A and B are shown apart, each in its own frame.
Chain A
């Protein structure tokens, strides 16, 4: 228990907040400023009127991965664990890693990924 408590305190200092960016959707596209990733490699995107958040992660090669945070088992919303290192469904306990792959069932399929591109310092997430 003491070991766990120590680990929590360490984690709290590094990722006590989840960066959230609220925006809209235009022509099935979501636009996110690159500047948001100045201090973090993960950003939670909350598009207006969409019932699921999108997890947007900056990869080592400078590209961006956009994951729809909808459980592939029963379509429940997922919650993120701190820095976006994983996503959990409280309905049946499914878990996904930062790449959207299943780490705990009952979900069997990875999270839906959206294509992204960077144009003029803006990350464009194409919803399809």
Chain B
């Protein structure tokens, strides 16, 4: 099986390099000269970040945090080949021996333009799943925090190593993408965080298990609709070790299967977006038996957001915006559990978020919002620190967020 994986990877890279070599062999034409004139070798620097204050009214706690600062660098070697990267620091500081903070490469890939409609990427990239995974600049979404559905059900920002193919049809406003990336590691799944801790994110990922993703996107004027899917094995162990753990082995062994659909629409000052996704892990029982991490069999999430720019009819297109919004998020990381799992009602959540985003210019946002959280009851069997050692669990909570966001 390993040799098949290796062969597949080699074939894909040969395909990419073969195409490029074929392009390089074309003699110089006026079109080539034009491309050279259009875009000489250049380096681009950009970035984004956000910071916010958050008060937890039930627990009586508050924090203020530079949640993200991301430095984006890109280099265009020529119009055919480019490099893109994002270097991220979370929580401003990483200090040896203490918890918190993270430094990571969020993207680092080469992009090979095949023509004006199609391109390949190779490296660490963000597959097209959901809305936020590709477009996560904090001044482009409402609320200080990213929506929870695209954090805990779709683990944005979700980057893995592999190759991706992107394109759009010539005569229809339809884009498509497909990717082959390393799979998730089910040994890393943690109760209550969905798929998040199974991601490798470019760090010593197992390549025994792989995943395929695909998306189709329709753009009609101010309307966009997308469906995407993911199918990937979660067992990175050798066959010998997998056998001993009672797990399947192979590229797509004990898979995670994801389906997602979303729409976005804007007209005048009004905009809306909605997303629904479901995650299936049919062999969750085997994973639980091997790793005791209470992996669920099914998770789901959905949200809908309505927003209106109060300044839309009093400005020209390049001036400030004052967007008021409300969003309803519903997610359950414990929707179906295998017989050897433990139900945790706190993972069944409903969030109502309301607030505003004030953008003095498009690249800057000042945000305020309140998040009302309602969850199911805590399973007494999961209480580690009973009252009065810890406060009793509250099924209703609310958070107040005030913050800033930028991108350039």
A residues near B, CB below 8 A? 1, 4, 7-8, 11-12, 15-20, 24-28, 46-53, 68-70, 73-75, 77, 79-83, 85-86, 88, 90-93, 97, 101-106, 108, 127
Contact = CB atoms under 8 A, between A and B. Distances in A.
B30 interface: yes
B24 to A, nearest CB: 13
17 contacts: A16-B172, A18-B169, A46-B117, A47-B31, A48-B31, A51-B115, A68-B38, A75-B39, A75-B44, A81-B173, A81-B223, A85-B222, A88-B224, A92-B407, A93-B140, A105-B362, A106-B408
B265 A4 contact: yes
Q: Which 5 A-B pairs have the closest CB atoms?
A: A93-B135, A49-B31, A81-B219, A106-B407, A105-B362
A105 B74 CA distance: 17
Interface in B347-387: 362-363
Contacts of B38: 50, 52, 68, 70
B364 to A, nearest CB: 9
Nearest to B362: A105
B104 to A, nearest CB: 18
Secondary structure class of chain A's binding surface, majority of residues = loop
Interface stretch (B60-68, B78-86, B324-332): B78-86
Contact of A74 (B44, B113, B263, B318): B44
Contact of B220 (A27, A82, A102, A103): A82
A85 B31 CA distance: 27
B221 interface: yes
B319 to A, nearest CB: 12
Interface in B145-192: 166, 168-173, 175
B100 to A, nearest CB: 27
B220 A105 contact: no
A10 B72 CA distance: 40
Given A24-B31, A74-B74, A18 B220 contact: no
A24 B304 CA distance: 45
B175 A79 contact: yes
B388 interface: no
Contacts of A52: 38, 79, 116
Interface in B124-138: 128, 134-135, 137
Interface of B: 26, 29-32, 34-35, 38-39, 42, 44, 46, 48, 72, 74, 76, 79-80, 82, 84, 113, 115-117, 119, 128, 134-135, 137, 139-140, 166, 168-173, 175, 219-225, 263, 265, 272, 274, 304, 317-318, 362-363, 407-408
B31 to A, nearest CB: 4
A108 B119 CA distance: 24
Given A28-B34, A106-B408, 13 more contacts: A1-B304, A11-B221, A24-B31, A28-B30, A51-B113, A52-B79, A86-B222, A88-B219, A88-B224, A90-B135, A92-B407, A93-B134, A104-B362
Contacts of B72: 74, 92
Contacts of B363: 105-106, 108
B263 A4 contact: yes
B20 to A, nearest CB: 13
A28 to B, nearest CB: 7
A2 B363 CA distance: 32
A50 B221 contact: no
Contacts of A101: 317-318
Contact of B225 (A8, A74, A86): A8
B35 A105 contact: no
A28 B219 CA distance: 31
B317 A11 contact: no
Given A46-B116, A53-B116, A105 B407 contact: yes
